[in-house]
Amino acid sequence: MKFILGIIIGALVIVFMVQNVQVVDIKFLTWSVTISRALMILIVFAVGILLGWVVRSIGYRKKKKAGESGAD
């Protein structure tokens, strides 16, 4: 089920990217970059997936560690 949901979300992101190919200026503090909006969407999506994976992994490790120390 998770796999199918992932494919649906990925397909929606791809459709959204294809419809938003204009070039945009991104400014953050003193940095400025001109990038395709589609590429920006892909980068933000990938960073979100990576952060979600990291947070879930940290939670899993804490839970596993707590389970090991409680068994003693």
Q: Which of 12-16, 44-48, 66-70 is modeled with the greatest confidence?
A: 44-48
Q: What is the pLDDT of residue 16?
A: 83
Longest dimension (CA), the chain: 59
Residues 35-44: contacts with CB under 8 Å, at least 24 apart: 41/13, 41/16, 41/17, 42/13, 42/17
pLDDT in tens, 23-59: 989 898 999 999 988 888 888 888 998 999 999 888 8
Taking residues 15-27, report their average pLDDT: 86
